[in-house]
Amino acid sequence: MNRIRSLASDQRGAAAIEFALLGPLLVMMLFGLIETGRLFWTQHSLDEVAFATVRCMSISDQCSDADAQQAFAIDRAASYGITVVAANVSPQTDTTCKTFGSSNRVLIDAKFNSVMQSLVPQFPATVEAEACFPNLG
């Protein structure tokens, strides 16, 4: 009986046991925060790529046809480390965009690979961006 009482009052190793229980949860939360930050950075970068592409369509001869527009978007995304394929870049000229007529519009989709997609079903697998700019040409 004396041995059980001394074992119950022994506090050595309590911190190690508490960390063993809470440590994995804290590490998962940390990596979830990092992946969410990476998702927001990718979204922001893709928005910038879409805007730069639609602006190039409107004011520059460098983006005069669909192939050049897609190449511009792919190169701009690659400068951020984002892989975009030509099939996922949809430029539209002389269209109504967000109630503004005679505008250029670009839609871009990019895959977003993350381990969070297997842990959190709502975590997006693709990132989408849309941008409009008045047609000045």
Q: pTM to 2 decimals? A: 0.81
**Residue pLDDT, tens place only, 35-62:** 999 999 999 999 999 999 999 999 988 9
Residue 116 confidence (pLDDT): 87
Would you state the structure tokens that stand for residue 108, as one six-digit string?
């871009």
Angle between helices 66-79 and 14-59 (to 10 degrees): 150
**Residue range(s) defining the domain that contains residue 25:** 2-134
Number of folded domains that form the chain: 1
Class of residue 126 by CB neighbours under 10 A (exposed 0-12, middle 13-18, buried 19+): exposed
84-93, 98-107, 117-126, range with greatest mean pLDDT: 84-93
Opening angle at CA 33, ends 83 and 77, nearest 5: 15
Residue 55 confidence (pLDDT): 94
Residue 109 confidence (pLDDT): 95
Over the chain, what is the mean pLDDT? 89
